[in-house]
């Protein structure tokens, strides 16, 4: 959870090291594509259920930077305000997902805090065409404060998934560690993990159960997330509960919150996030509540597109290269724009039959694109599946098997 840009605005701003992740910290990435969804819980690596669903990453790499301000109030202190810079880099491939994220917060009096986090997940389908997936996931991160106080955390998981088109379940085991510069050793947590997810139209949801055994005591934990993309608006709500072992000195906790991202353009969004989060038992960090506002700059809006049930995506192969051909009657110039061009026009050539042609090399996945005719009109070619682009227009779908 600590790696999500909105969540980091709160966590970094308060000087809270979320590198280990808390079940209740927000996970408000606007990428609501369930193929790449990460529902994190119980200090999880945040890599649950990537690539299990019908959609796919529109391009292999995406960058994002959040610039904003946050106010956080610990359970036992007054509010702390700060300015935040939170960059993110993610890579998405059919079997491998990786994410690098960080945050730098500046306070009054030349105080500052910084944190970084890395996540990686490897997914395999042992039986071609079957519903079974095996996943191996790991994460690591840490933080440092101007005073020299430092924290670090790691997590590893092994999961077995059973995934249908709109519904799925998973189960497995997890291990996590936490460390602070003020502690004498490393805290360790072990436990099972299980969950269920569902998808209905623009809405998708998941529930995760992840109890951890820490220093001889069990701490049961349940987390839920509901997310949707509605035109230009991305919404996410989360909630959770953690029980307390008798005699552990830790109280039961519950949390909740949400994020809204309004995309002004394809690369710029205004985000607002608010909620609460619990203490981190492995890193001995307090819980609190937060409110953050930021401007998000991104190489592209994270994709939520799925393979449509009607229409036909155009894809062809020629001499080992991928070649796209479209008929555009009456056009004197045609260019293509899409996820893989960062939505910048790339000219196409006309072949002897009058069709417009371009050669591309794309990884397997689902891509959004349009044709730009004579430098003015954006169109979806005939016989190509089209969906709402969230800005009052249509965009085509290209499926690379």
Residue 48: its pLDDT value, please?
A: 34
Residue 76: its pLDDT value, please?
A: 62
Residue 163: its pLDDT value, please?
A: 79
Residue 243: its pLDDT value, please?
A: 94
Residue 25: its pLDDT value, please?
A: 30
Residues 378/384, Cβ–Cβ less than 8 Å: no
What is the bridge-based pairing of β-strands 365-373 and 334-338? antiparallel
Residue 391: its pLDDT value, please?
A: 67
Residue 219: its pLDDT value, please?
A: 93
Residues in the chain with pLDDT values less than 50: 1-59, 304-320
Residue 75: its pLDDT value, please?
A: 66
Residue 129: its pLDDT value, please?
A: 62
Q: Which residue from 9, 56, 51 is spatially nearest to 366, judged by alpha carbons?
A: 56
Secondary structure class of 146 (helix, strand, coil): coil
Which class for 5: exposed (0-12), middle (13-18), buried (19 or more C-beta within 10 A)?
Answer: buried
Element (H, E) at 218: strand 217-219
Residues 6/292, Cβ–Cβ less than 8 Å: yes
Which class for 212: exposed (0-12), middle (13-18), buried (19 or more C-beta within 10 A)?
Answer: buried
CA distance 139 to 41: 13
Residue 114: its pLDDT value, please?
A: 94
CA distance 305 to 395: 10
Residue 401: its pLDDT value, please?
A: 66
Residue 47: its pLDDT value, please?
A: 33
Which class for 273: exposed (0-12), middle (13-18), buried (19 or more C-beta within 10 A)?
Answer: buried
């Amino acid at each position: 959870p600590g790696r999500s840009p909105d969540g980091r605005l709160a966590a970094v701003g308060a000087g809270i090291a979320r590198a280990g992740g808390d079940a209740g910290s927000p996970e408000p990435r606007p990428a609501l594509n369930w193929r790449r969804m990460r529902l994190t819980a119980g200090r999880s690596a945040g890599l649950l259920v990537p690539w299990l669903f019908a959609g796919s990453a529109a391009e292999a790499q995406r960058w994002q930077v959040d610039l904003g301000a946050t106010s956080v109030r610990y359970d036992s202190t007054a509010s702390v305000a700060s300015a935040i810079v939170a960059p993110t880099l993610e890579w998405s491939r059919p079997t491998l997902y990786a994410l690098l994220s960080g945050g730098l917060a500046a306070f009054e009096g030349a105080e500052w805090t910084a944190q970084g986090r890395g996540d990686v997940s490897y997914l395999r389908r042992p039986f071609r065409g079957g519903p079974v997936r095996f996943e191996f996931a790991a994460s690591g991160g840490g933080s440092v404060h101007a005073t020299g106080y430092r924290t670090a955390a790691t997590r590893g998981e092994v999961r077995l998934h059973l995934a249908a088109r709109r519904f799925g379940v998973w189960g497995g085991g997890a291990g996590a560690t936490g460390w602070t510069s003020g502690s004498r050793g490393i805290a360790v947590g072990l436990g099972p993990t299980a969950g269920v997810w569902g998808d209905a139209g623009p809405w998708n949801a998941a529930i995760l159960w992840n109890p951890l055994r820490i220093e001889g005591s069990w701490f049961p934990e349940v987390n839920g997330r509901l997310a949707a993309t509605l035109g230009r608006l991305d919404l996410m709500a989360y909630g959770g509960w953690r029980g307390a072992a008798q005699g552990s000195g830790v109280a039961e906790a519950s949390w909740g919150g949400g994020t809204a991202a309004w995309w002004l353009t394809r690369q710029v969004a205004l985000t607002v996030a608010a909620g609460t989060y619990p203490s981190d038992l492995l890193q001995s960090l307090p819980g609190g509540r937060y409110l953050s506002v930021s401007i998000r700059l991104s190489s592209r809006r994270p994709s939520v597109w799925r393979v449509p049930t009607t229409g036909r995506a155009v894809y062809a192969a020629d001499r080992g290269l991928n070649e796209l051909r479209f008929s555009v009657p009456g056009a004197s110039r045609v260019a293509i724009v899409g996820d893989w061009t960062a939505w910048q026009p790339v000219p196409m050539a006309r072949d002897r039959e009058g069709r417009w042609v371009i050669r591309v090399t794309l990884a397997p996945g689902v891509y959004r694109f349009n044709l730009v005719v004579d430098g003015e009109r954006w169109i979806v070619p005939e016989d190509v599946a089209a969906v709402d682009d969230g800005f009052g227009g249509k965009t085509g779908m290209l499926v690379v098997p």
